Amino acid sequence: MLTKKIEQTKKDFTTEFTNVENSSDLEKIRIKYLGRNGTISELFDRLKEADKKDKPLIGKNLNLLRNEITSQINEAKSSFSKQRKSETQSLDLTLPGKKYQIGSRHILTQTLDEIKSIFKSMGFSVHEGPELESDYNNFEALNFPEDHPARDMQDTFFISEDFLLRTHTSPVQIRLMNKMQPPVRAIMPGRVYRNEAVSARSYCMFHQVEGLYVDTDVTFAELKGTLVSFAHQFYGEDFEYRFRPSFFPFTEPSAEMDITCFICKGSGCKICKYSGWLEILGCGMVDPNVFKCVHYDSEKYIGYAFGMGIERIAMLKYGITDIRVFFENDFRFLKQF
C-alpha cells in the first residue's frame, strides 16, 4: 500500500512540475512535497505502518524520491534565478553609449597655476612649507608684538603653546631666508587656517600666495611695477588701480592694492560695497626687524613682500559671491570651469 503511494506521489510531482512556469509556482510545489507537513514527511511518518521486512526497501525508495524531488526543485530554482538576472541586465545594443564625465582641475588649482605661471615668467621661484608651524616663524620672526590680536585664540588654531596651524604663508619667507642668502626672489603658495566663523566672505581654511624679493637695490616703485604687471596679465587691461596706505607688522611702509570693480566698472555696486574699488592684495617693504631675525644685514639689503588670497582673486575674476562654494564640491558649480 505504501509502495503504491510512493509511486503515485512520484507521478503527481512529475505532472505538477511539468506545469511550473515561474518561481512562485515552484515554491508552492516545494512546500507541498518537501515542507514540514508535506507529502514526503507524511510518507516517512507512515513508514512505521509497513511490515518489518519491507521497511528497508520502502525507506530507501522514500529517500530516493525525496532526493530526486529536491534536486529537480533546486535546478529549476537556479534556472529561474539566472533568467531573472539575465532579464534585469539585458543589453539593448540600439541605445546610445553612456557619456563619461572627464575630470578637470579645480578652479582654485587653475587660479593658482595661472598666478604661479605669471610670477615665474618674472623670475620668481616657487617654494612651499609645512602647514603646522612654530609660533616663532608664524609670529615672532615676522615682527608680531606679543599683544597683537592675531595671537589670540579666537583667530588662530593653536596645537600647543609653541605650535599652530599657520595663519598665513609668510613663515615660508622666514624658512627660505634662513636657508639662503640674497638675492631671494620667490613666491610661496599654500593652505592657511584661521579660527573664523564660516560665512559667504570668510572660511576657516583658505589659500594664499606670498611673494618676496630681497636684494641690494630694491624699491617700492619696483614693487608697484611688479604687482601692476601681474594684475594686467591676470585680469586684463580694462581697469584702473590704486595703492592705499595700510599696516602689516612685517612690512614698512605697507599698502593695499585696489583695482576698479569688474561688475560696475567703478560706479559702485553691492560687490564692491558701492566704493567702485576691489582690494586684491597687501604689500610693502620688508621691515628691518624681520631681517634681524634671519641674520640679514638690514643696512645692506632691502626687500619687498606681498600676499594675496587665491579664493579672493578667483572670486573677483569670475564674479563668485560666496567663498563656501569652493569647498562644497557641487558638480553644477565645478563644471562651469
CATH number (domain holding residue 309): 3.30.930.10
First vs last C-alpha separation in the chain: 85
Q: Are 139 and 148 in contact (CB under 8 A)?
A: yes
State the burial class of residue 271 (Cβ atoms within 10 Å of its Cβ: 0-12, 13-18, 19+): middle
Q: What is the pLDDT of residue 4?
A: 75
Q: Please state the rounded mean pLDDT for residues 174-201.
A: 90
Question: Any idea which of 220-224, 236-240, 323-327 has the lowest mean pLDDT?
Answer: 236-240
Q: What is the pLDDT of residue 154?
A: 60
Banded model confidence at residue 278, pLDDT cuts 50, 70, 90: confident
Hey, what amino acid is at 104? S
Residue 47, in any domain of the structure: yes
Residue 248, in any domain of the structure: yes
Range of the domain at 79: 2-88
Q: Which residues contact 219 (CB under 8 A, 6 or more apart)?
A: none
Q: Please state the rounded mean pLDDT for residues 176-195.
A: 93
Q: 139 with 57, same domain?
A: no
Residue 300's H or E segment, with its range, is: none
Boundary of a domain, candidates 88, 117, 139: 88
Residue 56, in any domain of the structure: yes
Q: What is the pLDDT of residue 35?
A: 79
Residue 93, in any domain of the structure: no
Question: Any idea which of 91-105, 207-221, 307-321 has the lowest mean pLDDT?
Answer: 91-105
Q: 84 with 113, same domain?
A: no
Q: 114 with 79, same domain?
A: no
Q: 230 with 278, same domain?
A: yes
Q: 133 with 188, same domain?
A: yes
Q: 80 with 112, same domain?
A: no
- 208/129 Cα distance (integer angstroms): 12
Residue 95, in any domain of the structure: no
Range from 88-92, 103-107, 110-114 that averages highest in pLDDT:
110-114
pLDDT exceeds 90 at position 116: yes
Q: 268 with 120, same domain?
A: yes
The full DSSP string for 14-51 is HHHHHT--SHHHHHHHHHHHHSTTSHHHHHHHGGGGS-
Q: Tens digit of pLDDT for each residue in 238-277?
A: 788 899 999 998 999 999 999 887 777 777 777 677 888 8
Boundary of a domain, candidates 34, 61, 88: 88
Residue 101, in any domain of the structure: no
Q: Which residues contact 261 (CB under 8 A, 6 or more apart)?
A: 268, 269, 271, 272, 275, 276, 277, 278
- 296/179 Cα distance (integer angstroms): 11
Residue 96, in any domain of the structure: no
Q: Which three cell numbers stand for residue 28?
A: 508552492
Across-strand partners of 212?
A: 186, 305
Q: Please state the rounded mean pLDDT for residues 214-229.
A: 94
Q: Where are the beta strands (DSSP E) in the chain?
A: 125-126, 132-134, 163-165, 184-193, 205-215, 241-248, 251-260, 277-286, 302-309
Boundary of a domain, candidates 42, 60, 88: 88
Q: Tens digit of pLDDT for each residue in 146-159?
A: 887 767 766 888 89
Banded model confidence at residue 134, pLDDT cuts 50, 70, 90: very high
The mean pLDDT of the chain is: 85
Q: 72 with 160, same domain?
A: no
- 237/242 Cα distance (integer angstroms): 14
Q: 159 with 190, same domain?
A: yes
Backbone φ, ψ for residue 155 (5° rounding):
-105, -25
Residue 94, in any domain of the structure: no
Q: Tens digit of pLDDT for each residue in 43-55?
A: 777 777 777 777 7
Regarding predicted confidence, which is higher, 77 or 216? 216
Omega before residue 253 within 30° of 0, cis:
yes
Q: 26 with 141, same domain?
A: no
Q: Please state the rounded mean pLDDT for residues 225-230.
A: 94
Q: In the chain, how many domains are there?
A: 2
Banded model confidence at residue 89, pLDDT cuts 50, 70, 90: low
Q: 112 with 84, same domain?
A: no
Regarding predicted confidence, which is higher, 222 or 15? 222
Q: 123 with 202, same domain?
A: yes
